[in-house]
Amino acid sequence: MGELQKNTRFEHLLRLADTNLILGHRMSEWIGKSPILEEELALTNIGLDLIGQARALYEHAVAVSGEEDNRDADDLVFLRDAPEYKNLLLVERENGDFAHTMVRQMFYSAFAVPVWEALTRSVDSEVAGIAGRAEKESLYHLRHASEWILRMGDGTEESHQRVQDAVDALWMYTGEMFDMDEVETAAFEAGHGVDLTAVRSEWEKTVREVLTAATLDYPEDCWMLKGGRTGKHTEHLGHLLSDMQFLQRAYPGQKW
């Protein structure tokens, strides 16, 4: 097990942090728009968990990158443009209707649970600590989204159609999660990362169970889009950033 290069380690942390931040931000966009009042609390809870995970990872990434990089966690969030963001494409997709949001959440959480579980054994004790908490939070997110998918899938004709549409529309963004590129491979080999090909089978099993219980069709194999982890995003991310980063961009260098 070799030592992981500092910039690869930083990049690996950034990917995890960005994915959680962007999905957490998407949850905050639901505020005031949730289908029932109780869901306002649930969606915000998920958002707070995800942004909290991201914040811990950014702070760690800043520490890892050391003195020559004087950016802090907020700089990473509010002052990077889309190509520098390394989140998964899946999580930047617009919220759409409640079915889209819940399917996106289920797809991601079914991935996040085994990833965090594996990261509890990371040689980076800071990451292992973050992963321990995050795994529990992600399990709850998975359960929450799965319960809703069950109700929508096995609910009315309209809800069944909406949730099936969401599954089909988001499917092409799921393959990227398991892609072992150079960074992921190096991180895994150095004991910092996760064997994502192994995560894949667990993810497929979870997703198949949820969809089957919800009387939904498991999609056929299709061409999978990727690029998020290397900064090649969909059109949706730029708009999210222009909203999220507005104050820091309009009034640079201020304390808030």
Partner 1 sequence: MRENDTPLYEVFLRPRNGLSHRHVGSLHALDDQMAMQNARDLYTRRGEADSIWIVRSADLIASAPEDKETNLSPSDPERKPYRHPTFYVLPKEVENM
Partner 2 sequence: MYSQGLMGVEETPGGEQDLLDRFQARIDAGEKIEPNDEMPEAYRKTLIRQMSQHAHSEIVGVYPEANWVTRAPTLRRKLQAMAKIQDEFGHGLYIYSAAETLGVSREEMVGQLLSGKAKYSSVFNYPTLNWADLAVIGWLGDGAAIMNQIPLCRCSYGPYARAMVLVCKEESFHQRQGYEAMVALMNGSPEQKAMGQDAVNRWWWPIMMMFGPHDADSPNTETGVKWKIKNFTNDELRQKFIKATVPQAKLIGIEIPDPDLRFNEETGDWEHGEIDWDEFWSVVKGQGPCNHDRITARRKAHAEGAWVLEAAQAYAAKQAARNAA
Name the residues that contact partner 1, by CB under 8 A: 38, 41-42, 45, 143-144, 147, 151
Return the one option of partner 1, partner 2, none that residue 156 interacts with (CB less than 5 to 8 A, by type).
partner 2
CB atoms inside a 10 Å sphere around CB 36: 8
- CB–CB of 40/91 below 8 Å? no
Of the residues 5, 6, 31, 81, which one makes contact with partner 2 according to CB under 8 A: 31
Residue 194 backbone zone (phi > 0: left; psi -120 to 50: alpha; other: beta): beta
Residue 175 touches partner 2, criterion: CB under 8 A: no
Give yes or no for residue 34 binding partner 2 (CB under 8 A).
Answer: yes
* Spatial CB neighbours of 239, under 8 Å, sequence gap ≥ 6: none
Residue 52 binds partner 2, judged by CB under 8 A: yes
Instruction: Provide the minimum distance between the beta carbon of 195 and partner 1 in the complex, in angstroms, as a whole number.
Output: 32
Tokens for 237? Answer: 């991310």
Residue with smaller CB distance to partner 1, 1 or 37: 37
Q: Which does 144 bind (CB under 5 to 8 A by kind): partner 2, partner 1, none?
A: partner 1
Alpha helices in the chain (DSSP H): 6-28, 37-65, 73-78, 89-92, 98-119, 125-153, 157-170, 182-189, 196-213, 235-244, 246-250
Rounded Cα distance between 55 and 129, Å, is: 14
- Asked if 116 touches partner 2 (CB under 8 A), the answer is no
Q: Which does 192 bind (CB under 5 to 8 A by kind): partner 2, partner 1, none?
A: none
Nearer to partner 1 (CB atom), residue 12 or residue 162: 162
Q: Which amino acid is at 98?
A: F
Shortest approach of partner 1 to residue 38 CB, angstroms? 4
Nearer to partner 1, 45 or 120 (CB): 45
- Contact of 130 with 137, CB cutoff 8 Å: no
- How many other β-carbons are positioned within 10 Å of the β-carbon of residue 16? 29
Query: Which of 156, 197, 201, 212: binder of partner 2 (CB under 8 A)?
Result: 156
**Shorter beta-carbon distance to partner 2: residue 222 or 247:** 247
Single out the residue of 69, 126, 154, 195 in contact with partner 2 (rule: CB under 8 A): 154
Query: By C-beta, is 42 or 103 nearer to partner 1?
Result: 42
Residue ranges in 56-75 that form contacts with partner 2 under rule CB under 8 A:
58, 73-74
How many helices (H) does the chain have, and how many strands (E)? 11, 0
- Decide which of partner 1, partner 2, none touches 2; Cβ closer than 5 to 8 Å per partner kind: none
Q: Is the four-CA dihedral 57, 61, 62, 66 of positive or negative sign? A: positive
